[in-house]
Amino acid sequence: MKDDKFTVSFTLNGKPCSVDLKGNERLIDVLRDSLDLKSVKEGCGAGDCGLCMVLVDDKPVHSCLMMAGQIRGKAVTTVEGIGDNRTLHPIQKAFLETGAVQCGYCNPAVILAAKSLLDSNPRPSRAEIRRALSPVLCRCGSYVRFEESVLVASGEKS
Ligand code: FES
Ligand code: FES
């Protein structure tokens, strides 16, 4: 019987990574199930809620819509790659300071969307922040606090 497995190499959270694929795996499943990155959440599985957001080459991507085979040679970032309990990313710190963390389910996706924005636009306006975070739905309705957090992280607000 023919073995259709193939290996894809990419950069994951700053380190080289290789996974064996059959070819029909979604990126979200490989990240969560094969690589144990549970910060990546699944909501709708259809590109509507944004909870599965990760960064691919620094741009926000719905990992439920991307096939894992497409990440060959690219750099994938999840929230595990930007901070940890001892060294929080400035956006994570700002989330805590402003009380933006409610149930937390959407937070990894929002934080990555905010990181992508601040990396390309360090002093965004409120409208730019709203636009950048709009792909991620928050059932707790923390949108205003997310905006405040990004302003704090950008140094526009203390
Ligand atoms: S899980 Fe909802 S957009 Fe991917
Ligand atoms: S903080 Fe609960 S879904 Fe956003």
Provide the Cα torsion 67, 106, 36, 26; round to 10°.
-10
pLDDT band per the 50, 70, 90 thresholds, residue 2: low
C-alpha 43/C-alpha 47 separation (Å) is: 9
Q: What is the pLDDT of residues 42-98, one digit of tens each?
A: 999 999 999 999 999 999 999 999 999 999 999 999 999 998 888 999 999 999 999
Pocket-forming residues, ligand 1, beta carbon under 6 Å: 42-45, 47-52, 62, 64
**Distance in Å from the first CA to the final CA of the chain:** 63
pLDDT at 3 over 70: no
In order of start, what are the domains of the chain with their CATH numbers? 6-81 (3.10.20.30), 90-153 (1.10.150.120)
Which residue's alpha carbon is at the smallest distance from atom 4 of ligand 2? 138
Among 154, 151, 144, 136, which Cα is nearest to 62's?
136
| DSSP three-state, residue 133 | helix
At 4-18, the pLDDT tens digits run 899 999 999 999 999
The region, left, alpha or beta by phi > 0 then psi within -120 to 50, assigned to residue 40 is beta
Closest ligand to 137 CA?
2
More confident residue, 29 or 3: 29
CA of 75 to the centre of ligand 2 (A): 27
Ligand 1 centroid to Cα of residue 73, in Å, is 23
- Å from CA of 47 to ligand 1 middle: 4
Which ligand 2 atom lies nearest to the CA of residue 140?
2
Of 75, 105, 106, 110, which Cα lies nearest the Cα of 89? 110
Q: 77: which 2 tokens? A: 């970032």
